[in-house]
Every structure is written in C-alpha cells, then in structure tokens.
Amino acid sequence: MKHAGKNLIVFAILLLMVTPALFGGGAPERPVTVRDDMVIAMGSDPEHLNPAITTGYPVAAVTANVYSALVWRDNEGTPQPDIARSWDVSEGDTVFTFHLRDNVQWHDGEPFTSADVKFTMDEVLSQYHGRFENIYRRISSIETPNDSTVVITLNEPYAPFLISLTVFDAPILPKHIFEGQNVFDHAATTAPVGTGPYRFVNWDRGNQIVVERNDNYFGDAANISRIIFQMIPDENARTVALQTGEVDYIWGFYLPTAGLSELRADPNIEVWQGVRIPALYFLFVNNDNEPLDNPLVRQAIMHAIDRDLIVDLAIEGLGNTAIGPMGSAFPYLYDEAFDLSSLYPYDLERARALLNEAGVGSFELTIVYDSGRPAFADAVDIMRDGLSNIGVTLNLQPQERSVMIESVYMQRNYDLSMQSFTSGGDPSIGYHRIYITQAFGTPFVSATGYSNEQVDELLAEAAITVDLDRRGELYRQANAILAEDLPLFPLFEEKSVEANNRDLRGLRESLDVRDQLHRARWAD
Amino acid sequence: MVAGRIRDRPIRQAQKEIRVSGSGMSLWRYAAMRVVQSLPLILGIIVINFLLINLAPGDPVTALIGDFPAPAEYIETVRQQFGLDQSLGVRLLTYIGNVLQGELGFSFNYRVPVLELVLARLGRTLVLMITTIVFATAVGLGLGIMAAKWKDSPLDKFAVGFATVGYSIPVFWSGQLLILLFAVRLGWLPSSGLRSTRIAYEGLALYGDMARHMILPVLALSLRYIALTTRLTRSSLIETLNSDYVVAARTRGIPATRILWNHGLRAAATPIITIIGYHFTFIVAGSALVETVFGWPGVGRLMYESIGARDYPTLLGILLMVSVAVIIVNLITDILYAFIDPRIKYD
C-alpha cells in the first residue's frame, strides 16, 4: 500500500511536468484547400502592425495589403489611384485635390470618409512617421470640403509629394478607432482594421500572421484567398523552406545571397533580379577625426577599396559600382563625369601617392558595422585587406544594431561605418539626408559631420523642383562638389533579388514588392 | 548560463541539509522551507538582471523607430511611455513593486503583456524540451544499461563512442544536417515551423501535425542529452554492480536481471535524476539555437530577439519565469531523490 502511494505521487509529478504540453496547441482553424493561399517568409515578427508609427520594413510588409493609401506606385514608379479615385493639381504644383472612392468600408463595416485621411495625417503620421513628418512640414493645410474630397495645400512645390502618399509613407488609419486613443498600445495597433484587399485574421507571435481576402474591397478582389506570413529566423531555413514548398515567396530583404546559386538551379523556383527601389551602400566617414578631415586622405582610402571585389564576393554580384555620389538608378541625377568608379578606381599606387601628398604616414582606423548583416562583415574584410596595402590598419568593430546606432549616430564614436540607405523611391526622400548638414544625434541621417552650405542649398532646391531637367542640373552641380570632397564613400547601389515558387504570377506589379499582393495568383 | 548558476547553490545546500537534519522534518515542511528560501534568491535575480540589462549599451527606442530618422517628439513620447525618462533606481523599484503584484509589464517590442507573451512561448519550449528529455532519457538509459551489462563488448564500445561524438556535435550543425537529409533530400519531414502553414488541422490531427514538426528538432536536441545520459548511466551502473552489496546479493543467488533492476538501477538513479533536472536548467540556453534553426517559436528565440530589440520587460520576464521554473524543477528533483534513494529521508 505504501509502495502504491509512492508510485502515485511520482506519477502525479510526471503528469504535472507533461501538462504544459497542452499549451502548445493553437486554436484549431478551418482547413483550406491547397494553392488558394500564399506563404511569404519573414525573418522575424514585426514590432506591431501599425504602419503609421514606424518606417520599419516588417510592419509595412504585413500591413501594406491591409491598409490603403491615396495612391500606389506602379512598376515605373508612377502614382496610380488607390483609395483616391483621381486627383487634380493646381498650377504651381501646390494644391492637390483628391477625389476619394465612394462607398468604401473599413474592415469593421464603418464607412470610410475624407475625415479619416485628415485625421491620420494631422494626428498620427505627422507625429510618429519618420518620412511623413518630412512631408507634413511642407503642408500648410488639409481640408475636407465633403466626405469624398481632400484638399492638401503645400507651402511650396515638393517634387516627390504625390509619390509620398503611398501605403508605405501615408497609410490611412480609421479615425473612428484611433481618435482620442493612445496609438501605441491600442488593440488596433496589433490587430489592424484597414480598407485594403486583405483583412487581418490573427497573429501567432513568433510563428505566423494570417490575412484573408476582403470581399468588400473597393478594387478588384484578391485572387489568392489567404496570405500567411511565416516567421523563419534562420536564413538557410528560409531558403530550404522555399525549396521544400513550405514557403512560396521570399522578398530580397529576407533572402540570403549565399543560398542564391542553389535556388537558381532549382527548376521549381523563379529567381528575379533587377533594380526596384534603389538602395545605396556606403561608408560613413567621421570628418571630425584626423586624418580623415583631409580630403586627400579620404580620396586615398577610396582608391584602396576594391568595390568590384566586394560586390562579387560579399553580395554575389548583386550590385552596381558605376555610381555617382547619389548612385545611378535615377537617370536624371547620374552624370558620367562624376562616376566614382572612373574617378576613384581601385589603384593602390595612386592611393599611396595621395597619402604622401597629404603628408600622412601609416595610421589606424576603427570601422563600426551592424554585426547582424553578414554581407557587411564580408565587405569589411575585403576593405581591411586593401587598406593594409597602403599602411592603414582597419580595426573591426562589429556591433549589435542598437549599439551601432548609439556609437555612430548618437556619439559619433567611429572612424568609418558601413551603412545602407534606401532611396525611398526618390533621392530627396532617401539620399539627401546622407549629405546635408545634420544636427548631432539623429539616427539614419548623415553622421559624418560634413557641412557644405552650397550642397545644402542645391539639394533643398532640387527637392522643390518638379521639372526633371532643371532638377538634374541641380544634382549635377551637387555631385561635382560631393565627388571631389568625398565626405563619405559610396560603395555600390544594390540590385534587388527575390525568389518565389515558379507557378506564382502577378508578383512585382508595384514598385515596392510588398503591396498590391491581391494581384498575385497561381498559374492554372 | 544564468540558469546554471542559479541552480547550483540550493542543490548543494539541500543535500547538506538532508544529510545533517535527518529527522524531525516532514517532506512538505521541507518543501515549504525551500520555497521560502528561494524568495530572496528570486529578488536577487530580478535586481541583477535588471541592472545588467539596463546598463548594457543600446537603446530600445532606436530599435523600434525603423530605418528613417524619427521625429524628436515621437522618440520623446515613446521614452515616456516606456518609463525610460525616469532614473534607473526609480525604474527598478517600480519594476519590483509591479512584480510583487504579479504584473510583469508590457513588451516594448511586441506591444502585448509580457506574461501572456512569455507563457505562450514557454509552453512551446517545454513541449520540445520535455519530449526531448523523455526521449533522450529512455534511449540514453537503454544504451547505458546495455553498455554496463555487456561491458567491453562491441555494443559497449559503440555506446561509449556514440556518447563522445554525440556530446561533441553542436546542435546547429546536426540540425542543418537533419534538415538537409530528411526535409530537402528525402522530403519526409517538414524543415521548420510549429505546424503546417498551409493546411490547418484540427483536434487530434493538429497534434499529429505538430508531432511531425517536432521530430527533427527533438532528434537534433536529443543527441547531446542521450550522450550524457548514456555515459552517466553506464559509469554509475558499472560502479554499483562492482560494489560489495551487489557482490553479496550475487553470492546469495539472486538472478542477475533482478540485481540489475533492484540494486543497480536504483542506486544509479540518483545521478540520472540529477542530470534530468540539470537538462531543465538549460531550457532557454539550449533551446535558443534549435529554435532558430527549426523556426520553432519558443522562449529561447523570444529571448534572443528581445536582446536585439533591447526589450527590457520581456527579457526580465523570461529570466524571472525561467528562474522560477528552475527552482521548481530543483525542488521536484530533490523530492524524487527521497523516493528513489533509501538513504535520503526527509522525515
């Protein structure tokens, strides 16, 4: 009897230990037929699902098809009607009148009106969205003469205004849900209610986010009924999941270049490559530190960085090194005369001569970079090798992203720092910030300390110039100064690469591959 | 590592007390005393973790704002919301106060209550770890017993060799190999995830689906545990089987199998239970890698992501809950000793 009691207790303890197994199961879901859904791999969860309060990639990736905006940008970058059916622009390019679609409903059934647009811009985007804040400063008024009209008046023309009204820069939130609420911890910040082609279903953190077709969508209803965003933290595991068919689509942001050759060889997979929204990879140079304050030294270092080798080895050839100070993807701002690959080719002799001319012997530099980016580590190794040939010792300092932000932007405690900035679809959105004079202590702007009044003026003028010929001339003048001063080292402009199941059609219909997913469909 | 350190002290203390006290204390009084003793320990864990995490470089706000410069007002608002505008001391006291009320705070990174977030993830990690420990213990015990019984046979040599190799192979490598073989080449098993993404199973089928997804991570994770358990079982069993009382039993004519089970294994069980408890202390550290390789949304990965995002409340919540779990497992282990080792008595 005593023995049996003991056994019972042991059994009870074991049972207790196994009970948590019941935690693991999720709520059972309705089974769906295969091929009526699309699985997109992501690296990690978004922080939340409110695209109006962050410029982070993963948040927009999931919400771009849940929310709508006034416009979307097609493959060419041209604005197309989204929730605004059409618009008129006044002479002088300062007054924009948007005519909204009628009978649009939020996913909760409430009617969408012009008040939602005004509320989102005035109360949320202007305060919490990094890129829209920059637009909002140029807006003098937002008026809503009726439920289906929004009139936005600018202080002065702004070239990229229309293209800044996409779901990535200006998603429209529901006023009836967010008005007077705290946008940070409101339930709709993690369970969004939008007007887009897909409605939010559920978010199993660390595992997946599911959205399903919105049958009341104002545009063409989505072809694919469900999209599942699957979190796969390991790079290789993402590639493998595409090969095994567990995943259908991987955006370039989440696609490791190391696995590309294997994917290219796989007959079931389509690998797409090209330039969409250009992004520039470059080295910030701390212009306050000796001897980097000397332009000759900066030029010497540029000559000693083998950019072609970096592109070949670190990013599998997916980059273009024939670029000016602001890349080359925007034809109106690129000028061969200021192409850095011809001005500063990899030439160690020239580099040594320049250092002699500057009267500088051997010295050490510290390079800070985000340790979470494998391509950065490879590129930095190649640079260290090149620089050692001209007597420059590169001390590597890989840092976690949040630590890197502190060292580079907050404390400027670095000599060189590898970075990549997106153009955001227009040089004035994404590229100006790396050259214009910047106050100390803001992340993701110039951290070089470089300040040139003439450059500041030229770029400010370019931002408000709508005529492309005139705008190009301004960039030509700015590029001339920047190519000589070399306040930072542009390395290459990135080519995008993506991989998807060969049977998927209708992807990449828009400039940013993350929106317009309702156009995607399976081949018959 | 944190977990490892936490564990050592009470165990040694407990063993000493068991030996010294000997009489006058019931099992339940002993357990209650252990729980009371662990309270200052938990407080210490909170304070040390809080300071370590908050003094590390990196700012949770910059981790949140995206890739474009955020408006200054926004950064200020977030800082206030997170309570980061207050001094470290005030924040620490507030945190302890909240924990005492059972409030673990709100995740910076995920915008949900920490308790809810961590419990869900901890559950999934436990499923993986318990399955692994049960499986590895069974296999390791079997191998160890056979190796001890037929000492110096080819089987024994295989077991010893396997234990050495298995212990040396890192889980991220064995994991990748298993994926390449069973998911990519053969296509028998899913490569990652908790359950099928495309087909949403219900009821029993859902558990079957989850079990299929668990096979590879459990195999990868088990290797090390099997190795450890095999070696330990083998060596303690060999030692016991050579001891005087076993020899005496043998001379009394008791059958070899009965000696093995009744005398040998019973005496060898104590270190084996210790090692099982020890495995539990590595729940977080041990699962982080395998959870990343296999895309298993458990607490190890949550911790890894929270470190990157400087999500202080989530990190503290994980460390606290894991510490408590480790203390509970230690207590259970100690109680199990009493049932298995006749020399250990609490009353």
Q: How confident is the model at residue A454 (pLDDT cuts 50, 70, 90)?
A: very high
- Distance between start and end Cα atoms, chain A: 70
Going A338 to A340 to A346 to A350, the CA torsion angle's sign is positive
pLDDT at residue number B345: 64
CATH number at residue B305: 1.10.3720.10
Q: What is the DSSP string of B242-307?
A: TSHHHHHHHHTT--HHHIIIIIIIHHHHHHHHHHHHHHHTTHHHHHHHHHHHTT---HHHHHHHHH
Mean pLDDT of all residues in A15-30:
38
Does B296 score more than 80 pLDDT?
yes
**What is the ipTM, given to two decimal places?**
0.75
User: CB of B185 within 8 Å of any CB in chain A?
Assistant: no
- Judging contacts by C-beta atoms under 8 Å, the chain A residues touching residue B78 are 184
Looking at the structure of chain B, the number of domains it has is: 1
Calculate how close chain B gets to A493, using CA atoms only, in Å: 17
DSSP assigned state of A74:
B
pLDDT at residue number A168: 94
Higher-pLDDT residue of B246 and A42 is A42
- Judging contacts by C-beta atoms under 8 Å, the chain B residues touching residue A131 are 68
pLDDT at residue number A56: 85
- Short-list A449, A446, A477, CA closest to A462: A477
- Judging contacts by C-beta atoms under 8 Å, the chain B residues touching residue A59 are 66
Does A452 score more than 90 pLDDT?
yes
CB contact under 8 A, A402 and B127: no
CB contact under 8 A, A232 and B127: no
| A·B CB contacts under 8 A | 223
How far apart are the C-alpha atoms of A90 and A79, rounded to whole Å? Answer: 17
Q: What is the DSSP string of B84-96?
A: TTS-HHHHHHHHH
- Judging contacts by C-beta atoms under 8 Å, the chain A residues touching residue B127 are 20-21, 23-24
User: CB of A157 within 8 Å of any CB in chain B?
Assistant: no
How far apart are the C-alpha atoms of B68 and B82, rounded to whole Å? Answer: 21
pLDDT at residue number A218: 95
B144 — alpha (psi -120 to 50), left (phi > 0) or beta? alpha
pLDDT at residue number B8: 44
User: CA angle, B218 as apex, B223 and B167 as ends, to 5°?
Assistant: 15
What does the block give as tokens for A71? 């416009």
pLDDT tens digits along B209-240: 888 999 999 999 898 889 988 998 888 888 88
User: CB of B342 within 8 Å of any CB in chain A?
Assistant: no
User: CB of B73 within 8 Å of any CB in chain A?
Assistant: yes
Contact of B7 with B330, CB cutoff 8 Å: yes
How far apart are the C-alpha atoms of B339 and B347, rounded to whole Å? Answer: 12
pLDDT at residue number A399: 92
How far apart are the C-alpha atoms of B155 and B143, rounded to whole Å? Answer: 9
pLDDT at residue number B278: 79
Residue to test with chain B: of A164, A207, A229, A433, most B Cβ within 10 A: A207
Residue B213 burial (C-beta neighbours within 10 Å; 0-12, 13-18, 19+): buried
Q: How confident is the model at residue B331 (pLDDT cuts 50, 70, 90)?
A: confident
User: CB of A5 within 8 Å of any CB in chain B?
Assistant: no
Partner B, chain A 385-414, Cβ-Cβ below 8 Å: 400-403, 405-406, 409-410
Q: Which residue of B has its CA nearest to A424?
A: B68
Does A143 score more than 70 pLDDT?
yes
Mean pLDDT of all residues in A84-100:
95
Q: Which residue has the tokens 């829209």?
A: A132
Whether B126 is covered by a domain: the verdict is: yes
Name the 3-class secondary structure at A228: strand
Q: What is the DSSP string of A133-163?
A: HHHHTTEEEEEEEETTEEEEEESS--TTTGG
The neighbour count for residue A36, using CB atoms within 10 Å, is 13
Does A17 score more than 70 pLDDT?
no
User: CA angle, A372 as apex, A375 and A319 as ends, to 5°?
Assistant: 25
Contact of B118 with B314, CB cutoff 8 Å: yes
Higher-pLDDT residue of B327 and A228 is A228
pLDDT at residue number A73: 94
How far apart are the C-alpha atoms of A293 and A394, rounded to whole Å? Answer: 17
Partner B, chain A 178-197, Cβ-Cβ below 8 Å: 182, 184-185, 189-190
Mean pLDDT of all residues in B8-28:
51
User: CA angle, A493 as apex, A489 and A498 as ends, to 5°?
Assistant: 145
- The amino acid that residue A383 corresponds to is M
Query: For chain B, how many residues are written?
Result: 347
Contact of A459 with A435, CB cutoff 8 Å: yes
At what angle are helices B203-241 and B114-149 packed, to 10 degrees? 40
CB contact under 8 A, A442 and B59: no
User: CB of B297 within 8 Å of any CB in chain A?
Assistant: yes
CB contact under 8 A, B305 and A130: no
Partner A, chain B 112-171, Cβ-Cβ below 8 Å: 112, 117, 119-124, 126-127, 130-131
Q: Which residues contact B76 (CB under 8 A, 6 or more apart)?
A: none
Does A247 score more than 60 pLDDT?
yes
Contact of A28 with A202, CB cutoff 8 Å: no
Contact of A171 with A83, CB cutoff 8 Å: no
Q: What is the rounded average pLDDT for all residues in chain B?
A: 81
Whether B115 is covered by a domain: the verdict is: yes
Q: How confident is the model at residue A21 (pLDDT cuts 50, 70, 90)?
A: very low
Whether B28 is covered by a domain: the verdict is: yes
Q: Which residues contact A378 (CB under 8 A, 6 or more apart)?
A: A310, A313, A314
The strand ranges marked E within A195-303 are 198-204, 208-213, 226-231, 249-250, 269-274, 279-285
Q: How confident is the model at residue B10 (pLDDT cuts 50, 70, 90)?
A: very low
Q: Which residues contact A313 (CB under 8 A, 6 or more apart)?
A: A378, A382
Distances from the Cα of A394 to the Cα of A293, A305, A366, A523, angstroms? 17, 12, 6, 52
The strand ranges marked E within chain B are none
Calculate how close chain A gets to B214, using CA atoms only, in Å: 12
Contact of A407 with A414, CB cutoff 8 Å: yes
User: CA angle, B306 as apex, A192 and B78 as ends, to 5°?
Assistant: 60
CB contact under 8 A, B200 and A55: no
Partner A, chain B 251-280, Cβ-Cβ below 8 Å: none
Whether B347 is covered by a domain: the verdict is: no
User: CB of B200 within 8 Å of any CB in chain A?
Assistant: yes
Contact of A132 with A164, CB cutoff 8 Å: yes
Contact of A445 with B69, CB cutoff 8 Å: yes
CB contact under 8 A, A402 and B310: yes
User: CB of A422 within 8 Å of any CB in chain B?
Assistant: yes
Does B338 score more than 80 pLDDT?
no
Whether B345 is covered by a domain: the verdict is: no
How far apart are the C-alpha atoms of B320 and A7, rounded to whole Å? Answer: 32
Mean pLDDT of all residues in B78-90:
85
DSSP bridge partners of A228: A39, A210
- Judging contacts by C-beta atoms under 8 Å, the chain B residues touching residue A244 are 183-184, 187, 190-191
- Judging contacts by C-beta atoms under 8 Å, the chain B residues touching residue A205 are 110, 112, 117, 120-121, 297
User: CB of A246 within 8 Å of any CB in chain B?
Assistant: yes
How far apart are the C-alpha atoms of B20 and A32, rounded to whole Å? Answer: 64
What does the block give as tokens for B46? 């909170």
The neighbour count for residue B152, using CB atoms within 10 Å, is 9
- Judging contacts by C-beta atoms under 8 Å, the chain A residues touching residue B123 are 20-24
How far apart are the C-alpha atoms of A518 and A507, rounded to whole Å? Answer: 9
Does A345 score more than 60 pLDDT?
yes
- Judging contacts by C-beta atoms under 8 Å, the chain B residues touching residue A433 are 69
Mean pLDDT of all residues in A25-42:
62
What does the block give as tokens for A490? 């542009």
Which residue in the set A20, A37, A57 is minimally distant from B126, CB to CB?
Answer: A20
pLDDT tens digits along A486-523: 999 999 999 889 999 999 999 999 999 999 999 999 99
Calculate how close chain A gets to B137, using CA atoms only, in Å: 14
Domains observed in chain A = 37-41+187-275+497-522 (3.40.190.10), 67-178 (3.90.76.10), 278-495 (3.10.105.10)
Q: Where are the alpha helices (DSSP H) in A245-315?
A: 260-264, 295-303, 307-314
Calculate how close chain A gets to B206, using CA atoms only, in Å: 7
Q: How confident is the model at residue B261 (pLDDT cuts 50, 70, 90)?
A: confident
Domain span holding position B64: 2-340
Which residue in the set A25, A34, A130 is minimally distant from B207, CB to CB?
Answer: A25
Contact of A302 with A344, CB cutoff 8 Å: yes
pLDDT at residue number B1: 38
What does the block give as tokens for A145? 């003469």
Q: Which residues contact A420 (CB under 8 A, 6 or more apart)?
A: A279, A280, A281, A282, A494
At what angle are helices B2-21 and B283-293 packed, to 10 degrees? 150
Does B198 score more than 90 pLDDT?
no
